[in-house]
Structure 1
């Protein structure tokens, strides 16, 4: 079930985030808040600069974990900020125009230096697949299976409290558990957040959709203020045209969401229309039934590394059907089955 998530971020939550004390959900909320607007991003950068100036954040090469008093630390931040403002006003009263210009130059120079130094240090690696499926191993122990015509981008070294990657196309993720460093995937407008689990993400620019299917664990799938929590066997899809994020369910038990990787389809008493839907998605074909009575037929069979023709032959033999083709459409003919 989807729910609204306003991602309200307070100064106290930012302090916990910079101190490395934020939970995975809180860290994800901060990242979502930053992405919502340029104003949020600017506020985040300014608060981070102030926090780092006070030496309150652990560096990436720290070898021990320090326990922070967040309330006390944030009180120090507020005090330091108030003192700085007071001193600036005293100087402005002495020579207001010069001091305002100087303060503006210092602020602009500081922000520019921070942005250049902070973001320049993040070296991104890009892996692109062409006409083959490839495997990518990350330094944190996570494993990615990248589908054809897909691109994954990730930093050479993850940040101290977050693991972020960018995806274009489709990939299956097996994320190494880490309770203090959530794994976040940016796929178009969507943000997928996990701690440690396995799931499939498909971002289709052509269809303008992003779909997530969870194999194990729990996954947060969000777009803007919309969010859905998925558990094993559940699937959700975001459609840009409608702007809606919703659980779709249905055919996930057939294995079609993982067919590109496993080459397996499994039917256990599925109706013939559900079987056809799965085959159409797996093999990129159009299949039609000759009459509505055939929708009552059900099928129980497993396919693995089978050709489309072999699958159709098995279905036809099992349900006493005939297969014919009319242009690009495959037609299944038969008398059908009685209602259960």
Structure 2
């Protein structure tokens, strides 16, 4: 999609001079996560420009609510102004683009002040946070957190998978940000799996209670009870809640691989993380293959041989450009 057109549509909408057709066109952009987040940052800057000496806190959800309210009002046939000059809006759009980049810079710069711990592939890390909460971090995962929790909430940022044992503090909720989802707890035990190269996120509650929200406003403080797992699919935004076996979900802590109706591409990803290797495969070819099984002390070759026999694929072991062992998978799929 054309980014310049997006800035123009955003500017006209925030100026109150967008037609119904243009608003619908903007809404199509906002179906994409990238443009949605960019719009909300621009929207907040627009609001702040009209609030002198006001230290307003940036709020994604409030910005999205304002947008949706505006769209609803326009569909109720509220008169809108016509555009007199596109040049003015391109100029404003250029300014907004700069403002958006500045906000993004500030946002990411603030995250640079966080402590970052990464478990490289082939390793698992366990450590305590400043509040005493205990973290087990799966291979190929990163957790970011402040050196000291001195705010009203204890907020951390997860990419990958971790098991959280949160220290109870009713006055300071513990919030895990993973992709577009936030998981809020006071004192509880839960597992979050949110790898960027997989098409869904899972949040599995073992003990206590958590509240889950997302940036799409399709979830707001959704309650999970013990032994319930929430699965959220990135491409469709579909959400399901089901019971789960905790031994299956947390088997990675014992460096075990346990699969139940698992898509083969995710099995390959798990193998790569556990053994610290690279795996190359065609996701489209193997996406319909499902795996049930458990591997505990087997070598990577033994695991591949079992899967090869069951799913009829071939593999070749070589070395990638980084000097890591590379497994190249070939086959016709299921």
Report the TM-score, using the length of structure 2 for normalisation: 0.49
* Structure number with bigger Rg: 1
Higher relative contact order (CA 8 A, sep 6+): 1
TM-score, scaled relative to structure 1? 0.48
